[in-house]
Amino acid sequence: MIENILQYGQWIVLVLSIYSLYLVSSVKHEKRLTGYIFTGISRFGGALIFLLVDLPAFVIANLIQTYIAFKGYFDNKKVGRKNK
């Protein structure tokens, strides 16, 4: 069961990470905001994968990246509201 989660989960996290990079690099504000959400989700998924294989340093790194992604989302959302 765990092996299946690791085998398929890593590819899902990879696809989400690539898609989030694509969205975050957009010049459109709404697309960038969606990219921050996808970045947070993919990094949190990465943390879960690393938790299952007992790599605590990578879990911590992914949780920090999750925090930064969601903070970026909320900070940029505030800026977007002020500019409207």
pLDDT digits (tens, 9 = 90+) for 27-39: 999 999 999 999 9
pLDDT > 90? residue 67: yes
The maximal CA–CA distance of the chain, rounded, in angstroms, is: 49
pTM (2 d.p.): 0.86
Angle at 31 between CA 26 and CA 37, to 5 degrees: 115
Q: How confident is the model at residue 82 (pLDDT cuts 50, 70, 90)?
A: confident
Are the C-beta atoms of residues 44 and 52 closer than 8 Å to each other? Answer: no
Q: In this predicted structure, what is the pLDDT of residue 84?
A: 64
Q: How confident is the model at residue 79 (pLDDT cuts 50, 70, 90)?
A: confident
